[in-house]
Structure 1
Amino acid sequence: MLDSLSDVKKELKKKLKKKVKKKSACLLPLLSENDKQCIQLIREQTRRLNQNNVTRTQAYFQFYLQHPEIHWALLGHMVSRNVGWNMTDLKGELLSKLLPERDQIAFFSFLEQGSWLIFQDMYPQFWVYDLSVRGNQEMFHLLPFFYTSTFMETMWRYFWRSGDSYSLAMAMVINEQSYLEKRLIQNNYFQKTVTGTLSFKMYEFLQLNNILFPYYERGIKEKTSLVGTTSRQFTSLHERIQVGKNLYSLLFQREEVLAGVLKWAHECPHTGSRKDYWPDLFNDVNESFPRSLYKPRVKNCMLRKGARRLYSPPLKYAWADAPHEETTSEDWFGDFHVLDYIQKEVSFNGEILNNYCKTLEKIELAVMAKEALLLREEDNH
């Protein structure tokens, strides 16, 4: 019986010792007709909603509204919004001037593959839980058919008995980042084209990986505030799990933030444009004059006098839907010590505004420096 986390640890140790690799195909004949239909339905729904960042982001939010006890669904929704903004930044006012098109395409592929992978892994788990709740009977024997990690299968069974939303959410943070580690971060192609490039080092240097959670302060619709954090070493598994834990504590340990985020998410459907949360600074229509040299427009997160808003396109105008190939089905889980990440830690204050404002100004300076360099080169020829 999985009544406590120490029971979970024992169970995981046992599973690691056995290391029984079951091929789901061999198990198929043991399933009832109803089970087979459920598997088929979940596969179809996952494929349909895993179309692009906007469809995934919305699917996470819809699931959270149905099952608010599954905290990760809201956390995943908010992080997924940020992934969408990062995608459209590549075609927006500033980064399109800073990154060559080759890098824009490579960075988008990297973000899109990560976003697609996480949805492919997580969404079937949500469906299996939903079926369990509706039928008032756990259906977690279906999880291996979606190549769900042994770790998550065990955590779902524990959650079903304990109702421990915090531990399940932490387990999902550990799972999604461990799942990405081999398939994305350690993928040779992406190491060559993204994480090993000069552009990526510049990206980290300029601290472009701010994760922002907009929310209505004290429920006032006109007043959008921001909390968040900066991921400083995206290629570190430990760092990414730590960032996930910090973001969780922002959302679920501060009632006013949770209420404000939910109200904001309801009112502002995700388009991928940063205009979604900051229409004073960003616009989804390009207001700039083509070919004119860039002049600074932002000071302390406000437009300078007479300056035009920064262009931030919706996802559907920035990038076409990308095709994906099926990935390997191997289980990442190989060390029960990952459970140590679940322990509660001190809350995180989430002050991000100052950092984010400075980031925008840094990028503006980088754009102007690049343009000045290109002009000098032209003059020398």
Structure 2
Amino acid sequence: MGVIDIFCKLKKKEKPQLSERLIKIKKELKKRAKKINQSAILSEGEKALIQKIKEETLFLNKNNVTRTKAYLDFYNRHPEMHWAFLGHMVSRNGGWNMTDLKGGFLSKLLTRKEAESFFSFLERGNWLIFQDAFPQFMLYEASIENGLSLFHLLPAFNVSIFMEVIWESFWRDQDLYMLTMALIINEQSYLEDRVLHNSSFKKKVFNTLEFKLQEFLSMNHILLPYSQNGKQRLAGQTLRHFESLHERILLGKRLYNVLFKNNKRFLMTVQWANAHPHTGSRKDYWPHFFHDVDEGIPGRILKSRIKACQIAPGSSRIYSPRLEYAWKNITHTCAEIGDWYKDWSVINYLIPLEEIIDGEIENDYCKTLERLELAVLTKKAISFRD
């Protein structure tokens, strides 16, 4: 079901009320959609700025570690840009998912070819989001430095007209929540045709038993680590239906609430992120549980090591490699051209969530780890019998 279908139903039932600001955005979107795209005449300074941003984005987009660090560095320069920190934390999770494919559990459940297909899927999505979002941040930074809006340059980076309208609105009204929600909508919609509807990924990833197995095992937690009273804690959310654009957008909105509505926990999460550079290994947040060196002894009979989120005394920790040792950098083909924006009704996602979300996830995550270990032990037992 597409965004338009969802909101056709929503309008019939609830008829969400648009604020005055959203009504202005609706009118501007409808007006922009009718305009014929024309190449703007750019000054030499604007051309130089565009080239500089493209080169910097390409340089920082080498792999998950470099792009994840770039989000955090930008957020530290501009803490008003909430999406940059949200993007940093979600990108950390993307890196952990990548290294899981070579880690202590999934490497025993997937073939090498399957693991490579999953990595390509995760890496492509991570790369695409960065090459779309980071130029927007660079233009924002340049606009602040120059004291004037430079968002008319967004088409040079193939950014959606939806974000052109939103950035111009933000420059006038400084509605931070609206900007953050718009970036969530934009990035997930941007991925929809380029990754979720990609025929290769559909065949090699979404239609495989292993992808369904991952959903069954709930290997789709988004974890938000923080330190409290010297103890490593986890908040977060779980995505149940990855292939649903609607669900991914709602997940982004819920993650925003978990991160930013509890100011004390938010500050602890930022502090944790700055104190723990992203490596791709889950050791970053739970060194008592994971290790970036494989401590397992080849040939040893596998037995259960996990109970109540602890490793049994005398047992090796779960292997979780650093990204640099798990996967080589890959060269991407250029992003597919095209604007995802089709209908103004998508702005209904800009309306704030009313539900209260506590972000409790540790119990579910621990149960997931236990189920994964059980799956590995079961597969090993079957292979012994064969």
Report the TM-score when normalising by structure 2: 0.93
Paired position in structure 1 for 2:11: none
User: Structure 1 residue 322: deviation in Å?
Assistant: 1.0
Q: Distance in 1 between matches of 2:199 and 2:187?
A: 19
Q: Distance in 1 between matches of 2:382 and 2:61?
A: 42
Contact 1:3/1:158 (8 A) holds in 2: no
Paired position in structure 2 for 1:259: 267
User: Structure 1 residue 308: deviation in Å?
Assistant: 1.0
Q: Distance in 1 between matches of 2:138 and 2:235?
A: 30
Counterpart of 1:44, as a letter, is E
Paired position in structure 2 for 1:20: 36
Matched, 1:350 2:366: no
Matched, 1:37 2:48: yes
User: Structure 1 residue 3: deviation in Å?
Assistant: 8.0
Deviations 1:158-186 (A, max 9, x none): 10011111110000000000000000000
Paired position in structure 1 for 2:84: 73
Matches within 5 A, 1:354-369: 354-369=363-378
Structure 1 unaligned segments of length 5 or more: list them: none
Matched, 1:127 2:138: yes
Matches within 5 A, 1:64-143: 64-143=75-154
Q: Distance in 2 between matches of 1:371 and 1:5?
A: 56
User: Structure 1 residue 216: deviation in Å?
Assistant: 1.6
Q: Distance in 2 between matches of 1:343 and 1:153?
A: 19
Q: Distance in 1 between matches of 2:356 and 2:167?
A: 25
Deviations 1:315-354 (A, max 9, x none): 0000000110002210000011111011111231111000
Paired position in structure 2 for 1:169: 180
User: Structure 1 residue 19: deviation in Å?
Assistant: 5.0
User: Structure 1 residue 6: deviation in Å?
Assistant: 1.4
Paired position in structure 2 for 1:9: 26
User: Structure 1 residue 40: deviation in Å?
Assistant: 0.5
Paired position in structure 1 for 2:283: 275
User: Structure 1 residue 292: deviation in Å?
Assistant: 2.4
Paired position in structure 1 for 2:382: 373
Counterpart of 2:377, as a letter, is M
Deviations 1:129-148 (A, max 9, x none): 00000111110111000000
Contact 1:91/1:313 (8 A) holds in 2: yes
Counterpart of 1:255, as a letter, is N
Matches within 5 A, 1:226-265: 226-265=234-273
Q: Distance in 2 between matches of 1:55 and 1:283?
A: 21
User: Structure 1 residue 372: deviation in Å?
Assistant: 1.1
Paired position in structure 2 for 1:306: 314
Report the TM-score when normalising by structure 1: 0.95
How many residue pairs are counted as aligned between the two chains? 367
Q: Distance in 2 between matches of 1:360 and 1:113?
A: 26
Contact 1:295/1:368 (8 A) holds in 2: yes
Deviations 1:51-83 (A, max 9, x none): 000000000001111111111000000000000
Q: Please give the secondary structure, in 1, of the residue aligned with 2:148.
A: coil
Contact 1:107/1:194 (8 A) holds in 2: yes
Counterpart of 2:25, as a letter, is V
Q: Distance in 2 between matches of 1:67 and 1:5?
A: 25
Matches within 5 A, 1:330-345: 330-345=338-353
User: Structure 1 residue 305: deviation in Å?
Assistant: 2.1
Contact 1:3/1:162 (8 A) holds in 2: no
Deviations 1:253-289 (A, max 9, x none): 1101110101100110000000000000001111100
Counterpart of 1:149, as a letter, is S
Q: Distance in 1 between matches of 2:272 and 2:232?
A: 8
User: Structure 1 residue 307: deviation in Å?
Assistant: 1.2
User: Structure 1 residue 223: deviation in Å?
Assistant: 1.3
